[in-house]
Chain A
Amino acid sequence: MGESTSPFCNLGILDTLTGDSIQEIIESYSNFCANTESLLNGDFSVDSEFACNVHGLCKYGLNSLVRDQFLGSLEETFERNCVSKFWQYFDAYSNVAILNTNEPPVYEDCLQQVLCKALEEISLEKQYQEKCLLVLVHALSDEEHHSNAEKAYLFSKYQLMVSSVLMARLPRHFPEILHWYFKGRLEELSTNVDGEFNYENESQDKDDMDIDERSKVPCRTGKMDIDECGLGKFSENNALVKNIGKVVLNLRSLGFTSMADDAYASAIFLLLKAKVHDLAGDDFRNSVLQSIKDWIEVVPLQFLHALLAYIGESVSYDSPSSVPKSPLASVAPSFYPGSNAPSEGLVRWRLRLEYFAYETLQDLRIGKLFEIIVDYPESSPAIEDLKQCLEYTGQHSKLVESFISALKYRLLTAGASTNDILHQYVSTIKALRTIDPAGVFLEAVGEPIRDYLKGRKDTIKCIVTMLTDGTGGNPNASGNSGDSLLEELNRDEENLENTGTDDDFNIDDKQAWINAMRWEPDPVEADPLKGSRNRRKVDILGMIVGIIGSKDQLVNEYRVMLAEKLLNKSDYDIDSEIRTLELLKIHFGESSMQRCEIMLNDLIDSKRANTNIKMNRSQTPHTGSEAGDTAVSLDNLDATIISSNFWPPIQDESLNVPQPVDKLLSDYAQRFHEIKTPRKLIWKKNLGTVKLELQFEDRAMQFTVAPIHAAIIMKFQDQPSWTSKDLAAATGVPVDILNRRTNFWISKGILLESPGQDLNDHVFTLLEIVDSDESIGNGRNEELLVGDEEGERSVDSVEDQIRKEMTVYEKFIMGMLTNFGSMALDRIHNTLKMFCVADPPYDKSLQQLQSFLSGLVSEEKLELRDGIYRNKYPCWVTSSKLKHLCVFRTVHVLELPLPSNLTHDQLADVLLPVGSTSCLSLIPSSTEAATAPSPLFGEFAEPGITHSPQDILASSSQFHAPMDN
């Protein structure tokens, strides 16, 4: 390196140079170079000679040559002695770190040591070079008096050189190594502190200590004086923090400031995230927010405080003054003398960490919101946490989106029963109104549920049941089972009245919500259902009625259900119905409930009339003389007398009740007429309930049944055996209904069914004596067998209705299976959904379909194997079935499995209803396929080739012509 390298070489100066001076410069320069060499190799004895040579050069204005030459030597030495050596330490980790980003390197302890050692070594070297640099600074500043400026300039140059030389050869995996290092250290620290933290919590985990606890934690971190935190307590951690601090310092001094900061920051966030997951988990029944906040104070903030104190956070790191102080000196909290106020950096950190914690917990809870709501109200602590998180982060829309998609995926599926959906809806409202008292986004969340429920047929019925029936509801719906929802809402309302008004709070909350969602609030309608004490409050009942559309529909449905209930009573006990009616009146208005009120009043009047009629009899014993047993029997007749104009249409089916009962009924009606002249009674003989005791030779059995059941069984007093036709005639009931009702007695083992002469005529025989082992059980104990009231009623049960409704689809299903061979449950379900869109649209749940199909299986119409349904028998395609096949409008190509011995007329029967636009391919039915197929199939059963029905028929007529004749 010669003079020419000096950028400040100035020609004017060159002219003034004499030969001597040139000689002097050359000498000084070569000595300076030699001295520099010696200095950098550790020989400080050349100190003064070095200074002389520097002066010698500076005399000629060669200061910049001196600086550049010296820095160049430093760079060369640094690069040679340190850089490769430093990076070589980490070569061993290159694979581990890259391959395993989630798992810490196996030799973590080793990594920690290597990192410390490497940093220590290179820092020592650097420190030494800086010492050399100081020598130069002194030498230069003896000459001029800009020592500080000179020093700053040189040191910044040097720092830049160090960083760039190191950076130039930075291995890719180094940031990861740093990450693992900090992660490992922090986990260690966390484990240590956790032990103390938990111990502390345990020692004062009584509720009344909570306030102390909370006020204590920030206070402690406020001071954050490591010394003050106790000698024993943090001394161990102290060393750990110092260790980490040293690494950070060393990294910073090498110019890896942001890399180091990123590494420990990401380690802290990772640790915090793990902690939040650990504390929160799937436990929804405890609030975790406070524990998380406490932990933030105790672990990461303590650490950061110590670390920032140690490395001197407010100092500019590139300036030479930051470079090594005595570690001990910086540990002393000299940065906040006499003040407990945490540094600005720490305050920022706390905000960052809390925000991160809130967001993490919020995301965790939002992800599990569906489960949380299922668990409501037990899960209300989790809801409360979520509320606080959302208030902090303002990310309410995240909740809305995520929850709606969870609803669609988990709840709004064919498999879920309407009841389940409704109960989840109510739980959702209850749970979310905590978070969203104004109900602004409940609107958004509720919408898909409402839309879905609107498409279900049994929605209104389920809603009314849920509202009014405390016994039939979903057991996991709410804490108080046995309470109707209406009862519960009413109680809530009363509680609210009692606790007084928090209107301000509500309005604030509402405002916060509106701001958060930046949504326009719905126009505030005058809510017909409630005295609007609060301007806008989540109104559960209103939201439920909203599904139905109008309260009239709801009231109407209730009226029908009430009628059903009242008509099936065997007593006049209507206390719970009266209570429900009162509640309904409060919410829906008295006039809406007028008809229901009249119905209940009928029951009250009936009870009174019933008593009067019987009293009348005892006062006028002359009727008793007519027939002794009839008079006695009147005790066994009660009646419900309805004002039919105010009841829903009553099913009036014919029924011949047993003659003695009929006599009783007319006596009863006669007495009613006497008392209430000119009013008369019209019996609805098919309605009501009969408590029946059957007395056999060896046993007595009790049932509560519909009149039709009683009428049927009592016929067997006259004769022990009936054909179904005769029995139908005797009881005045259509045969198909009679057969269905008789099944009840067959299932109880009282009647026996056997085939009659005619295929459609069965014979029912009374079983006077049952098998001996059964008779012991039944007879002796005179077991009370209450007939299954749910299944057999004079009025159709919901299950009956669904079965009836499903029958429409039986033909579709059979046709489908004919066409496709075999199908799984969900495919049948989906196909029905796809094709049966009108008249009547298919709206059944998967479960309903399944139970219907299992009925078809038990009727041996279908076969179920490995979850696949198929026709039990090779299908004999009837024209009616084919007609239904054609309803599948998109199916143009039909494959018809046919038996080969089809006559032309039968084939015409099958094919004529098929539209001429359809294309057919005939295939032999499965049994035919094995044997010799009919020639018919040879022509028309080539796979993939289809024909119009007319073609097939024309061909068939030729084929069949000789055979038919």
Chain B
Amino acid sequence: MGFQTEWHAVASWTWDAQDETCGICRMAFDGCCPDCKLPGDDCPLMWGACNHAFHLHCILKWVNSQTSQAHCPMCRREWQFKE
């Protein structure tokens, strides 16, 4: 017996972050930030040098709101975007 198959599979995607939710907006990483409607490419994650991840939109807002040098909201270390 021989086979020929056309397989239509189903998968879910994940950002594969350590945490489930964004420490700033408390929304799921695999969801999206409060300002966005569509998850995934439209609302990406951003990692800091400290390895903490946030929604890009959330951390940008955070960084921009700080008058001086911004710190990571989780570990208080100086915020640096991960290379």
Contacts and interface: CB of A to CB of B under 8 A. Distances in A.
A690 B5 contact: yes
A696 B4 CA distance: 12
A642 B11 CA distance: 6
Contacts of B12: 641-644, 647, 650, 681-682, 684
Given A645-B30, A766-B1, A768-B1, A679 B10 contact: no
Nearest to B53: A678
B11 A569 contact: no
A664 interface: yes
Contacts of B4: 636, 692-693, 695
A678 B45 contact: yes
Contacts of A694: 1-3
Interface stretch (A145-153, A709-717, A880-888): A709-717
Contacts of B14: 644, 679-680, 682
Contact of B8 (A594, A598, A678, A688): A688
B1 A645 contact: no
B10 A661 contact: no
Interface string B27-67: 01011000001111100010000000000000000000000
Q: Is the interface of B mostly helix, strand, loop or mixed?
A: strand
A664 B37 CA distance: 32
B11 A683 contact: yes
Given A642-B11, A685-B9, A690-B8, A594 B37 contact: yes
Contacts of A605: 40-41
Interface in A618-650: 636-647, 650
Contact of B9 (A647, A676, A683, A766): A683
Contacts of A650: 12
B9 A688 contact: yes
Contact of A717 (B1, B37, B38, B45): B1
A54 interface: no
Contacts of A687: 9-10
A690 B3 CA distance: 12
Contacts of A684: 9-12
Interface residues of B, number: 25
A636 B9 CA distance: 10
Nearest to A652: B12
A693 B8 contact: no
A570 interface: yes
Contacts of B81: none
Contact of A669 (B10, B11, B31, B45): B11
Given A679-B15, A682-B14, A643 B39 contact: yes
A601 interface: yes
A716 B1 CA distance: 8
Given A636-B5, A678-B45, A688 B39 contact: no
A691 B3 CA distance: 10
A661 B37 contact: no
A515 to B, nearest CB: 50
Nearest to B30: A645
A601 B1 CA distance: 40
Given A678-B15, A692-B5, A567 B10 contact: yes
B37 A640 contact: no
A681 B40 contact: no
B83 interface: no
In this complex, which of B3, B4, B11 has the most chain A Cβ atoms within 10 angstroms of its Cβ? B11
Contacts of A707: 7, 9
A676 B12 CA distance: 13
B8 A570 contact: yes
A722 to B, nearest CB: 13
Given A644-B30, A676-B13, A678-B15, A636 B45 contact: no
- What are the nearest 10 A-B pairs in CB distance? A644-B12, A695-B2, A687-B10, A691-B6, A693-B4, A681-B11, A570-B8, A688-B10, A688-B9, A645-B31
Interface of A: 567, 569-571, 594, 597-598, 601, 605, 636-647, 650, 661, 664-665, 668-669, 672, 676, 678-685, 687-696, 707, 710, 714, 716-717, 766, 768
27 contacts: A597-B37, A598-B39, A636-B5, A636-B7, A638-B7, A638-B9, A639-B10, A640-B9, A641-B10, A641-B12, A643-B30, A643-B40, A645-B30, A646-B31, A647-B12, A661-B5, A664-B7, A678-B16, A679-B14, A679-B15, A682-B11, A684-B9, A690-B5, A690-B7, A692-B4, A707-B7, A716-B1
Given A569-B8, A571-B8, A637-B6, 17 more contacts: A601-B38, A641-B11, A642-B10, A642-B13, A643-B13, A676-B41, A680-B16, A682-B11, A682-B14, A684-B10, A689-B8, A690-B5, A690-B6, A690-B7, A692-B4, A693-B3, A694-B3
